[in-house]
Amino acid sequence: MMKNNQLKIGRAEAYWNAAGTRILKFTVEMYHKGLNEHKLISAPDEEILENKANIQANKWQIKWTKLEAKRKKDESKQANMENAIEKDNEAQQALRDIDNILKHTLKINDSIDWDTLKKKDQFSEPLPQKPAPRIKRAYNSKPEISEPAFTPELTFMDKLFKSKKERKIRECERKYAAACSDWEKHYAEVVDYNKKIDISHQNEINKYVKAVEDWEKRKTNFVSNQNKYNLKIDNLKKAYLNKSPEAVSEYCELVLNNSTYPETFPQNFELEYVPETKILVVEYEMPSVKCLPNVKEVKYIASKKEIKEYLVSQTQINNMFDQTLYKIALRSIHEIFEADTIDAIDAISFNGWVIEVNKATGKEENNCILSIQTTKNEFINIDLGNVDPKICFKGLKGVASTKLSSITPIQPILRISREDKRFVESYEVAKNLDNATNIAAMDWEDFEHLIRELFEKEFQQNGGEVKVTQASRDGGVDAIAFDPDPIRGGKIVIQAKRYTNTVGVAAVRDLYGTVVNEGATKGILVSTADYGSDAYNFAKDKPLTLLNGSNLLHLLEKHGHHAKIDLREAKKMLADNK
């Protein structure tokens, strides 16, 4: 997955169904520091998730590269007429893009081309080159005694005097013997050199054969992974054609992700498909006013040697903002309905959210400022090329304030259900406690509700909420606290352990794993017994709090309740009840 010093990608997390038997989806958080943009990517499969994250990272990289290039250009002191003309063209184009947001989609077929989602890259790694044969050294033929150099030239005198003749013959024999010796030495050197060449070349051949084998494995693995990924796309397509709720949501997400908007627009959204009603709920993050272009003209003032920007008036900005948000709502609905080739969606409920600073409080808020629900039969009869976006929105009974630029919150017509199906009705336990009540021996389900009750009292002063999950006794989540505090708050996982023996490190590890899987900010483990040193050591430097029996009794007393913890008595009572 692509990374740079501006991009941060979290760890992929799996979300299971309520029974814990099947993974519903995988998600990963991405953040680009330079762009100050955040995205939560989800997919039914880890590999698809990685591909989507890479696509998003590439989008951000392209956007960041453009911004960096623009920044450097703006920093240049050599502003000139061409720069002014280019900036003016950019400003005019930005205004045209905003004006054409709705009409742009009418020229496009928004249906997903499944084939384009598949990986079709060729294995780009070249085949290893076979080593060229090494050049061997040659050797001369062995000297022959009959060669002229070794044949004595006998004169008449040599023939008369035998000793002279023999001396010349011996001299030739010596030369021949020396030549043979030199040849044998040279021959041995050549043979030795060529032998080393052969060994070296054979080693190269062996490495080449191994390299080819490894290359073949990498190529096979590449093709296999590509085929597996493409098979997943085929399976996703098949699931979509069979109107699987998860696949319908994923398909609609692909549709909206394909929709191109100005780079300043956040384009974040969350979808929920309700198969029983065939309604798709869309929670869409709209652009804030600051995302809109505010320059209408750029000129180069020669006398001052500077570029001057002429801004759009605030009244025009507010009108542009209103029109843009209505257009995005209608465009998104159009894209989904047009792409819905299997008629899985009868209606769309679209909620537009804007993150903006509340000028009264100075704090950033995320408010729903428009909401609309329309049926497919009703919407497809509208000619979007000729409508006034606001009038069309109102005609479809959409809900919004008179001026969207006021960022007035409204109640959405229909929202995504965020109810955790694991939560169960809670009941009070603490009021029945007294000094004789041994918490370590109480019913385990009562113990979990007691912990919920105590932490609810802890959090309620800050508007917090604590819910008890289904009694699964599987060591998972026993309760979840929602603390609204902007600094220390968030989702807190609570596990209650009515133990009579020392709590080991395994329970603390399980808690930490649950915190990660739940995407929680903190985990709290409450036990009637104490913890071992290994448990405390593991919890160090982690967002974990370990409360033992003594801490629990103190928490009870803090909220006006009294009880006791007698582990020896509890062991006996629990043993007798078995």
| CATH number of the CATH domain containing 499 | 3.40.1350.10
| Residue found by looking up tokens 């982690």 in the block | 542
pLDDT at 397 over 80: yes
- Helix axis angle, 162-241 relative to 46-75, nearest 10°? 100
Give CA angle at 281 (270, 57), nearest 5°. Answer: 20
pLDDT at 232 over 80: yes
Q: Does residue 460 share a domain with residue 354?
A: no
Strand, coil or helix: 547:
strand
Give the pLDDT of residue 433: 83
CB-neighbour burial class of residue 322 (10 A; exposed 0-12, middle 13-18, buried 19+): buried
Residue range(s) defining the domain that contains residue 197: 111-239
DSSP state of 232: H
State how many domains the chain has: 4
63: left (phi over 0), alpha (psi -120 to 50) or beta: alpha
- Helix axis angle, 245-258 relative to 162-241, nearest 10°? 110
Asked if residue 171 is part of any domain, the answer here is yes
Q: Does residue 452 share a domain with residue 345?
A: no
Strand, coil or helix: 368:
strand
What tokens does 249 get? 């949501």
Asked if residue 16 is part of any domain, the answer here is yes
Domain finish residue from 360, 384, 413 = 413
| Residue found by looking up tokens 């880890």 in the block | 46
DSSP string, 193-205: HHHHHHHHHHHHH
Q: Does residue 139 share a domain with residue 88?
A: no
Asked if residue 250 is part of any domain, the answer here is no
Percent of the chain with pLDDT over 90: 43
DSSP state of 478: S
Residues 521 and 542: their CA atoms lie apart, in Å, by: 10
Residues 479 and 484: their CA atoms lie apart, in Å, by: 16
Asked if residue 343 is part of any domain, the answer here is yes
Chain-centre distance for alpha carbon 504: 34
* Enclosing H/E stretch for 372: strand 364-375
Q: Does residue 430 share a domain with residue 371?
A: no
Q: Which residues contact 180 (CB under 8 A, 6 or more apart)?
A: 142, 143
**In the predicted model, what is the mean pLDDT of residues 219-235?**
94
Q: Among candidates 475, 481, 426, 490, which has minimal Cα distance to 455? A: 481
| Ramachandran angles phi, psi of 362, nearest 5° | 80, 5
Asked if residue 244 is part of any domain, the answer here is no
Are 552 and 528 contacting, i.e. CB atoms less than 8 angstroms apart? yes
Give the pLDDT of residue 307: 82
Q: Does residue 408 share a domain with residue 267?
A: yes
Q: Does residue 382 share a domain with residue 283?
A: yes
Task: Please report, as a single letter, which amino acid is at residue 460.
Answer: Q
DSSP state of 285: E
What tokens does 281 get? 């709920």
Long-range contacts of 7-13 (CB under 8 A, 24+ apart): 7/31, 7/32, 7/33, 7/57, 7/60, 7/61, 8/32, 8/33, 9/53, 9/57, 11/516, 12/46, 12/49, 12/50, 13/516, 13/517, 13/519
511-532 tens-digit pLDDT: 888 888 777 788 999 999 999 8
DSSP state of 540: T
**In the predicted model, what is the mean pLDDT of residues 222-240?**
94
Residue predicted with more confidence, 445 or 478: 445
Beta-bridge mates of residue 497: 527
How far is residue 54 from each of residues 26, 28, 49, 60, measured CA to CA in Å? 15, 11, 9, 10
Residues 547 and 531: their CA atoms lie apart, in Å, by: 9
Q: Does residue 313 share a domain with residue 265?
A: yes
**In the predicted model, what is the mean pLDDT of residues 123-135?**
92
Q: Does residue 406 share a domain with residue 429?
A: no
474 falls in which pLDDT band (50, 70, 90)?
very low
Q: Among candidates 238, 316, 293, which has minimal Cα distance to 44? A: 238
Asked if residue 313 is part of any domain, the answer here is yes
> Where do runs of H (alpha helix) occur along 16-148?
46-75, 81-99, 101-106, 114-117
Strand, coil or helix: 411:
coil
Cα Rg of the chain, angstroms: 40
Q: How many C-alpha atoms does 520 have within 13 Å on its Cβ side?
A: 25
Neighbours of 483 (CB within 10 A): 21
Asked if residue 105 is part of any domain, the answer here is no
140-199 tens-digit pLDDT: 888 898 888 888 888 888 778 888 888 888 988 899 899 999 999 999 999 999 999 999
Q: Does residue 64 share a domain with residue 191?
A: no
Give the pLDDT of residue 417: 60
Q: Mean pLDDT check: name the lowest of 362-366, 472-476, 481-485.
A: 472-476
236-277 tens-digit pLDDT: 999 999 999 999 999 999 999 999 999 999 989 999 998 888
Chain-centre distance for alpha carbon 110: 25
Q: Does residue 94 share a domain with residue 120?
A: no
Domain finish residue from 370, 394, 413 = 413
Q: Among candidates 372, 167, 213, 207, which has minimal Cα distance to 283? A: 372
The chain-wide mean pLDDT, for the chain, equals: 86
What tokens does 121 get? 């890259």
Q: Does residue 570 share a domain with residue 499?
A: yes
Asked if residue 254 is part of any domain, the answer here is no
Q: Does residue 354 share a domain with residue 332?
A: yes
2 falls in which pLDDT band (50, 70, 90)?
very low
